[in-house]
Amino acid sequence: MDATQKPLRISPELGVYAEKHGIFQTLQRMLQCLLVDRPVDPIQYMIDHLKKENDEVPRIFLLGPPASGKLTIAKLLGDKISTNFLTLNNMLTNEKSDFANKIQRLSIRNKEIPNTLWAKLIRERLSKTDCIKRGWILVGFPKTREQALVLQEMGIAPDHVVILDAPDTVLIERNLGKRIDVSTGEIYHTTFNWPTSSKIQNRLVKPNGITEEETAKRLLEYRRINHGILSSYSKKYHIINADQPSVDVLSQALSHVQSRHRSNAPYTPRILLHGPPGSGRSLQAALIAEKYRIVNVSCGQLLKEPVAAETRFGEAIKPYVESRQPVPDVMVMKCMSQRLSKLDCSTQGWVMHGFPQDVRQAEMLKDAGFIPNRVFFLDVPDDAVIERLTVRMTDPITGERYHSIYKPAPTSEVYSRCKVNPKDSEENVQKVLEVYHANVRDLEQFYNSVIHVNADQDPYTVFEYIESCVVKPLSKCTNIFV
């Protein structure tokens, strides 16, 4: 890179490396921590920050009204993502610190506990090695906007906020059935979670404050102050209906905490569309390229261009193209590499279709340094593919493509001169589908961040979903199915 040249020409390899390793996100996170902590020695602070390797660990607040199931869902979620489950009570019980002692003394004397003291206790707990390495889920705190602001002033900020909620009548009914095991502190319910052991049943007691009047009063107070929490974490919270089976609540919570917030890092789209013939890859690629001004890289078109221009490379592949035989992978890769290496692809991005068709081609693409950051599989049933292809026709004069069902020729004159491509016969389509199905599973495993799209619907509906996945960051989970 030559710093004297404007604009700076950044090699495509640098962008791929930075995106793969999250360089821009690391720098952004480091800058945020610097501004919050204001260390005396910023250089050593950044070195220590990098050594922690904890930018991707969960940092979650799980909030909600009384009896919304916060503790139950937090424990299940903590087990699912292997992180620390924290409440104010377990921090007071397990922590040996001056802050915990002060809070306990104030509690014994029925004194109000300052929000700053709670925040200091939480910050002390979050500074422990297990929270740094594995992350944390903090349950039931903050409850007010003032508490949220105190946490923010101390540099305690979640990446995700999960808020459970349900109608007050449901929450009151739930609270009436709550029981506590005095020996273990475990919470049970007369309807939803009753222990099978008679020994445990005999030592269960009703907790204080669960009568209908007391619960209604607490819910009224929660509704009054809850808007302050929503405004404090307006871009991070997600409300989940708690009036459904816990497995469904957990699934929605897990989906939210595995999502990523949009980064300010520069992003160059490198999109791969894969699917059976007739799945609409060409149309979707054209729509994406037109809207986002990226390069539409069609493998078939790239091979036809040098043949039409009668270049040396075109002469080499012409026999394969004319006889409709597969062009050798080495020649295809040479053609693709030349196109993807051009400046417009490196700076604007690209959407590719028609290649790769199997794992060997995908490995060649990867070895050449062209790694897609979005991989879409357009899924269409075989019978729909046959219906789409076997009745499509092309006007030899205008080159316009028509379909007997979805896009009929405008006049009888145009219809009479339309021709059906021999490769669209049902027999040929079946052969192509067999090849596709023989390779699709291996390709799916090769590209572990695959987004499956139901392409057997209106093409603009398909485009809207693809567009949403291009714009939003990928989830932390590996595969997405729609």
Sequential DSSP letters for 129-155: HHHHHH-EEEES---SHHHHHHHHHTT
pLDDT at 7: 54
403 compared with 365, residue with greater pLDDT: 365
Q: What percent of the chain has pLDDT over 70?
A: 93
pLDDT at 477: 55
Condensed to tens digits (0 to 9), the pLDDT of residues 199-257 reads 888 888 888 888 888 889 999 999 999 999 999 998 899 999 999 988 999 999 998 99
23 compared with 376, residue with greater pLDDT: 376
Confidence of residue 166 (pLDDT cuts 50, 70, 90): very high
pLDDT at 160: 93
- Break the chain into its structural domains and give their ranges: 55-257, 270-299+334-481
In 262-401, which ranges are continuous DSSP H helix?
A: 281-292, 299-309, 312-322, 329-340, 343-348, 359-367, 382-390
d(CA 134, CA 49): 15
d(CA 335, CA 304): 11
Reference 207, options 107, 89, 117; nearest CA is 89
Q: Report whether 284 contacts 363 (CB < 8 A).
A: no
CATH no., domain 55-257: 3.40.50.300
Confidence of residue 432 (pLDDT cuts 50, 70, 90): confident
pTM: 0.68
The residue behind tokens 């819910």 is: 219
Instruction: Please give the full DSSP string across 255-297, using - where no structure is assigned.
Output: HHHT--PPP-S----EEEEE--TTSSHHHHHHHHHHHHT-EEE
d(CA 469, CA 471): 6
Q: How far apart are the first and last CA of the chain?
A: 42
pLDDT at 360: 93
Q: Where are the beta strands (DSSP E) in 15-88?
A: 59-63, 84-86
pLDDT at 480: 37
| Fold match flag (55-257 vs 270-299+334-481) | yes
Please check the confidence at residue 478 and state whether its pLDDT lies above 50: no
pLDDT at 92: 87
Give the pair of three-digit tokens for residue 39.
Answer: 């260390």
Condensed to tens digits (0 to 9), the pLDDT of residues 95-148 reads 678 888 898 888 888 888 999 999 999 999 998 888 988 999 999 999 999 999
Q: What is the mean pLDDT of the chain?
A: 85
pLDDT at 482: 38
Furthest-apart CA atoms within the chain: distance in Å: 95
Condensed to tens digits (0 to 9), the pLDDT of residues 299-309 reads 888 888 888 88
Cα 92 to the center of its chain, rounded Å: 35
Strands 450-454 and 374-379: parallel
pLDDT at 139: 95
pLDDT at 479: 41
4 compared with 303, residue with greater pLDDT: 303
Please enumerate in sequence order all residues whose Cβ is within 8 A of that of 335, keeping only pairs 6 or more positions apart, or say none: 302, 303, 306, 313, 317
From residue 207, alpha-carbon distances to 112, 179, 196, 198 in Å are: 22, 6, 20, 19
Give the pair of three-digit tokens for residue 343.
Answer: 């400046």
Please check the confidence at residue 1 and state whether its pLDDT lies above 60: no
Q: Characterise 127 by phi-psi region: left (phi > 0), alpha (psi -120 to 50), beta (else).
A: alpha
Condensed to tens digits (0 to 9), the pLDDT of residues 52-84 reads 766 678 999 999 999 898 988 999 999 999 999
pLDDT at 154: 87
pLDDT at 53: 67
The total of other beta-carbon atoms located within 10 Å of residue 123's CB is 14
The residue behind tokens 């922590």 is: 95
Confidence of residue 13 (pLDDT cuts 50, 70, 90): low
Radius of gyration for the chain, computed over Cα atoms and rounded to the nearest angstrom? 30
CATH no., domain 270-299+334-481: 3.40.50.300
What would the mean pLDDT of 323-340 be, rounded to a whole number? 87
